[in-house]
Structures are given as C-alpha cells and as structure tokens.
A and B are shown apart, each in its own frame.
Chain A
Amino acid sequence: MRHVSRFIGVVVLTFAVPLGGLAHAQSAKPKAPADPPVAVDPIVLKDFQQRLEHYIKFQRGIEKDIGAKQKPVDDPQVINRKQETLAGTIRANRRNAKQGDIFTPQIANEFRRLLNPEVKGRRGAEIKEELSEDFGEEADEGKPKPVPMKVNAKYPEGNPLPTVPANLLAALPTLPPDVEYRIIGRNLILRDVDANIIVDFIPRAIR
C-alpha cells in the first residue's frame, strides 16, 4: 500500500437496488472524486441485481433449511462444520452453475469498464501494487495456494483474503453481506462469505 500518494477518486453511483443491502450507498464518500463519475448502464445493472438477488434468496433458503446459519460459539469445529455443510448443499443444488451465470458477458464488460478508471495511470499502478501485496511479498507467511477460477470451488483454506481497495469497492455495486468481491490477480471473484465458495468470477476484470 505504499507510495499511494494521490487521492483516490471514488465513483458515485446514483442508483438504488432492491434487497436491502444491495442498495448502493450514496454518502460517506471521503472526498470529491478526482475523475468524473463513471455512469452505469441501468439495464445491465438491473440484470446484475436480479441475478444476484436470485442467488442470495437461494443461498439464504438453503442456510435456513439445513440450519447452517452461524452464531457465536466456542468451538471452531462447529463453525467449520456449518460452513462445509452449507457449501456442500449449495454445490449439490447448483451443480450446473457455470461462469457467466451472474457475470454475463455484458455485466462483466460493464464491471471492467467501471474498474478501468481506477486502475489506469500512475494511480492505477499503485492500486495494482496494493492488490498484489497479499499474494506476492509475504514470503515469511508461506506461499498462498493458487485460487481456482472455477464456479463452486472452495476458496483455499488458509490463504489471505486480498484487501479490496476502497476505490474499487466504491466503483462497484454494493453487495449484501452474504457475498463479497475479491480481486485475485487480474480476476474478480464473487465469494460466498458464509459458504466460502466462488459463486462466479470475471476473468481479466483488471486490465
């Protein structure tokens, strides 16, 4: 994260989406953006929201059905067991899922377009350096396992979860707490936080 000296602009998206947490935040931006905001194609955005909402409803339904909702416990085994059960059930019920089910080619291109201003130029080089930190330099923390770019794959246990720079998060639609974005190399993954599986991904999201 060093050498990032310039202000990192944020993209103000002025849309609202259903499902509570999906609504994109309007406030709490730290400073005025350095670059003009990137307008989002509302049709593509709506398509993404609907696909995501479909997955969230499906995931929450399974979680409820099999009693996998987590609550604080003393025994980590209980937490792990619930997560594994949820992941297994999601995989079984979503065995035909494939890359592009959520990030269709149109949505993927729109995401690339939204991310592009944040990762270009000098500022972009700094952001890319930041993104590579967790997978690059920590020799004393063991080499991270390769992350499989595969729908329903488990995010490798013990790997660091690369920090997502705030400007990238601000450029993308806000997600409900069940899922999150992570950038692995140049790829963007949508990770199910509760099941620790890759729901979908965008290859070469970062140019």
Chain B
Amino acid sequence: MRRCVVALLVFLAGTITTAQDLRLPNKSGSIKFAVIGDTGTGDKHQVAVAKQIATYRSQFQFPFVIMVGDNIYGGSSAKDFEKKFEAPYKALLDAGVKFYAALGNHDDPKERFYKPFNMNGERFYSFKPALNANVRFFALDSNYMDDKQVQWLDKELAASGSDWKIAFFHHPPYSSGGTHGSATVLRDQLEPVFVKYGVNAVFTGHEHFYERIAPQKGVAYFISGSSAKLREGDVEASPLAAAAFDQGYAFMLVEIDGDNLSYQTISDAGKTIDAGVVKKSADTNRIVGTAGGGRRGNPGAIATDKDKKN
C-alpha cells in the first residue's frame, strides 16, 4: 500500500512539474491548438510525445491539433491507422480533440477520406476553428503544388476576412536542415501569395527536428517535424534559424489571443525547447516581430531571439 502511495506521489509530482512549465498565457476565449509533424511511426517515440501532449492538455485545453504531414508511414491498412494514429492519440481522441491533417510525401492521398483527419476528401482545404474565431487555417498539399491548388489558395486567401491567416503543409520553404534544406521551388511558388495576402504564420514538417525561422517577408515560419522521427545534429549553422532543436522529439502548443500568437515547443521529456510570442499589427494584420528565445542546433546553447533576416 505504502509503495503504491509513493508511486502515485512520484507520478503526480512528475505530472505537476511538467504542467507547471506551461508558459502560454492560457487565456479564456483564446484560440488554442497543438502542432505535430512526421508522426506516423507507431513507435515508442511517437507514444512518448503523445503522452506529453496529453499531459499538457490537462492544463492547456486545446480543442484541435494540426498535423503537418507524414501522418502514416509505410502503409494505409486499418492496422496502420490504429497503430500510428488511433492508439498513440487515444487520450486526445477520447477527449474530443479534433485533428486536421495535411499530406506529407509518405502519406497515401486516400488519407483524405479518413474522417478523423478532417480533410473532407480534399487534398487542400481551409477551416475556421470556430465561427467567431478571427483565424483561418489553410492546409496545403506541398507534394503536388499544381496551378489549380495555387489558384485555390489565392482565391481562399482573398476571400478570407480573418485577421490571422495560418498555412500548414509538409515541405518547409525555409529550413536549416542538412538533409533537405529549404524547399525553394515551393517557396518561389507560395511566398508571393503569402506576402500578397498577409499570411502570418506557416507550420511545416519534413525535416525531423524543430526550427523557428526568423520572420521572412513578414511571415513567421515554424518546422515541427520531430513528433516521432528525429535526425540528430541535422540543423546546420544558418542565418535563418531563430531557434532550433535537433536533440530530441518535440511538439508545439500555440495560442492566439488578439494580435499575439504565443508558442511553446516541448520535448518528449517534457522540457520547454522554445517559447515566445509572434506579434502582428492590429492595423495591417502583418507580423511586426517576435519575442522569445530557445535552443539552437546545439542543445547547450540557448539562443536569444535575434530574428535575423535571410
């Protein structure tokens, strides 16, 4: 009995310690969500990150998660979906958390018909998390960025009256990764549209690490591709990186309140890797700067936020 009590206390202490590290404002009425990427392995790393997400949700009640691609690796059988999505995120799914997926290069496009991914049969789509929310999300298929999709995005952005415009997809237009690096062909195609319509933030994956890019042409870019896969030491020295972490698995929590987008990136060990605020102008709805700090590629070095321009 005593052993059980001790075990329970140790468990609770661990949970409380982790939850106390929440650095977001956690305001009532704000838009809250999580970001995960390159998740669909079904292995212990995915499970460990999923547990941390669920733990943090006990204090930070986000109603939805965006998935930036590679949601199911290596197959699309019912078993794959069970092992690589339903089981790891069971606690979240049971709590009614919704998932919005974008397709990665390892995803079978028929995932768009899998209801829990909320893609409604579309390879690219947009949604508002609530009718009165002043934010609209744009999920893109960066594996096949044809003119039809770019035209759709152009039209959707033009029609969006939302103050915050957030795009998410798989391939990062900016990256300090040694394996892949910036997807410059894609960037040439999308960046003019983002700038034209004032997309504020972009979340991507593909690179198996976390990186916050210094804002580029008024757009904040995040890479969150290490929620189950990791390429240790893959972040190269680059003027792009405002913060990076390639020494462990990670996910992001995000909160939008008024003109502030607060972010917190957390490792599978429950440690905060990066946290800060992206601020936009109320008049122009364009990003005016960020505040925060985090780790660069070297986990021992804590970066001050320089927000260097490329």
Contact = CB atoms under 8 A, between A and B. Distances in A.
Interface string A73-107: 11111011001000000000000000000000000
A39 interface: no
A165 B76 CA distance: 25
Contact of A157 (B75, B151, B191): B75
B77 A80 contact: yes
B110 A83 contact: yes
Given A163-B143, A163-B171, A180-B144, A70 B113 contact: yes
Contact of B151 (A28, A134, A163, A169): A28
B61 interface: no
Given A8-B188, A28-B154, A76 B81 contact: yes
Interface in B111-149: 112-116, 119-121, 142-148
A71 B121 contact: yes
Given A72-B121, A170-B147, A80 B185 contact: no
A25 to B, nearest CB: 3
A74 B116 CA distance: 7
A1 B179 CA distance: 9
B73 interface: yes
A15 B113 CA distance: 33
What bracket does the count of chain B residues touching chain A fall in? Answer: 35 or more
B74 A158 contact: yes
A142 B70 CA distance: 14
A173 to B, nearest CB: 11
Contacts of A166: 145-146, 185-186, 188-189
Contacts of B180: 1-2, 133
Given A1-B184, A73-B113, A160 B105 contact: yes
A4 B185 contact: yes
Contact of B182 (A2, A31, A79, A140): A2
A137 B229 CA distance: 15
Contact of B171 (A1, A75, A79, A161): A1
A29 B189 CA distance: 7
Choose among B113, B116, B144, B147 the residue with the greatest number of A CB atoms under 10 Å from its CB: B147
B147 A28 contact: yes
A164 B78 contact: no
B218 interface: no
A88 B108 CA distance: 19
Contact of B115 (A29, A73, A80): A73
Contacts of B115: 72-74
Contacts of B63: none
B88 interface: no
A79 B113 contact: yes
A98 B34 CA distance: 48
Nearest to A5: B184
B195 to A, nearest CB: 11
A31 B148 contact: no
B79 to A, nearest CB: 9
Choose among A30, A74, A174 the residue with the greatest number of B CB atoms under 10 Å from its CB: A30
B282 interface: no
Contact of A161 (B105, B146, B189): B105
B181 interface: yes
Contacts of A27: 147, 151, 154
B103 to A, nearest CB: 9
Given A70-B110, A133-B180, A174-B148, 14 more contacts: A4-B184, A8-B184, A8-B188, A25-B146, A30-B192, A76-B77, A77-B77, A77-B78, A141-B106, A160-B106, A166-B185, A174-B146, A174-B147, A193-B109
15 contacts: A1-B171, A2-B177, A2-B182, A4-B182, A25-B148, A28-B147, A30-B192, A72-B112, A76-B78, A133-B180, A134-B105, A158-B73, A163-B144, A166-B145, A174-B146
Interface of B: 73-78, 80-81, 105-110, 112-116, 119-121, 142-148, 150-151, 154, 171, 177-186, 188-193, 229
